[in-house]
Amino acid sequence: MKSLAISKIIFTQHVRSMSIATFMTIVLLLAQAIAGHARGAPESFADLAEKLSPSVVNITTTTTIEGAVDQPMPQIPKGSPFEDLFKDFFNNGPGGQSRQRKSSALGSGFIISADGYIVTNNHVIDKADEIVIEFFDGNKLVAKLMGRDPKTDIALLKVEAITPLPFVGFGNSDIDRVGDWVMAIGNPLGQGFSVSAGIISARNRTLRSGPYDDFIQTDAAINRGNSGGPLFNMNGEVIGVNTAIISPNGGSIGLGFSMSSKVVSRVVKQLQEFGETRRGWLGVQIQDIDADMAEALGLKTAAGAMVSGVPAGPGADAGIIAGDVIISFDGVKVADTRGLVGAVGNADVGKVVRVIVYRDGKTQTIKVTLGQREVAEKVAVIPEAKVPESIKEAEEMGMKLIALTEEVRAKLNLSDEITGVAVFAVDETSDAFEKGIRAGDLIVEAGQVKVTLPEDITNIFKEAKKVGRKSILLLVVRGDDTRFVGLSLNN
């Protein structure tokens, strides 16, 4: 005890003689060492696997396929008197009725409540007539589909269990870092319960499978049959749902993707409560901003989400207009369209949010009462505009432009209410072609001014060059798609 007291006195004297900077450096190094030790490679995953495996299930689905062919039909010369006979025999059952066959599929899932709620991928149970759950102890139960969300590929099932089931909870996928250990449990290739481990290779990945993509990339082995299974952190929390792999041969090559628990937990909560998702809807068409667009708008950086169209809905009611750049939503800075879509989708339906837009060189705050996206998607939107009368043509920036006539409207399938200038042809060496403008497109605005005649565009281009502008914005419509294009005026 005496030697310990002496050591403490000596350590205290050393600390008192240190500068504040030296002392803080030592504290920081100690903290990093402790954190590094806490997140070091585990000696074994056995204890964690043993604890979590009972909460993971194998899923087998059965689907009835109408008109399926049990065996290939022989090649019969077209027009042969036996052609109809063979078609009836191979494609139909007795009495001319369509043949049926059963198709089975395998996947994984995990239990999230003692009363039997189970999470899996939507593609695992899609179109299934029967869903059978096999538990870790070998028992089987038929599950009922409670709700699904194709946009995130998540489905919620329910079984009626006699006794409480072992279950797991969601963790915060935003906390875990690239390089942290993770573990996947599932039913790869129908081989039964299997465990694999690896690290988080990357975060916030998008596979362009939906507007709410937020995948965790991992090198933990994930194969067919692992779909719908959980990705665990070392605390035994679900931080992802194993959904997809990238592979040239269909097997794991260390590129597995799990939808983050940040997305999944919210979807599951809504499916439990409503049987469907209920996402916020701002009611605007948006696009990312490139450097030319930013320069044309007077923005310092190419950030935010450009409003390219405002159909009837919450945004229009609140006063958002085409040409606005949304730079903040509900107190969160908007970096790009992906960020805005995610933020709006995660907001509650009916919530009043503050949207900050950049318009005419200054910012403006607009209060919007959010609608429900799922309801809005069922409603067709028709753009508003007027009818031009003159017949004129022009050529600007590699684009041949023509006014809208009855003939042009008929070719482009445009209603009489729509106004603008049609693009007749585009030089493939022009900046317009490189930016995606094609023959058949409709230019409705140039420099954020509505246009009805080719000469309107010519005059706007001349004025922009006269005042030294380097680029100009065009609002272009193609079918149901509306977007802004920033053209360089230096070409």
Residues with catalytic roles? 123, 153, 227
Let me know: does 451 contact 460? Beta carbons within 8 Å: yes
DSSP 98: B
How many CB atoms lie under 10 A from the CB of residue 356? 19
The candidate with the shortest Cα–Cα distance to 408, out of 395, 396, 393, is: 393
DSSP 95: G
Tokens of 322: 């085409």
Let me know: does 251 contact 347? Beta carbons within 8 Å: no
Tokens of 131: 């869903």
Let me know: does 87 contact 73? Beta carbons within 8 Å: yes
Q: Which residues on neighbouring strands pair with residue 354, listed in sequence order? A: 367
Q: Quick one: CA torsion of 130, 135, 137, 140, rounded to 10 degrees?
A: -20
Let me know: does 226 contact 189? Beta carbons within 8 Å: no
Q: Which residues on neighbouring strands pair with residue 443, listed in sequence order? A: 421, 476
Helix or strand (DSSP H, E) at 47 = helix 46-52
Let me know: does 181 contact 197? Beta carbons within 8 Å: yes
The candidate with the shortest Cα–Cα distance to 358, out of 321, 316, 326, 318, is: 326
Q: How many residues does the chain have?
A: 491
Tokens of 92: 């139909």
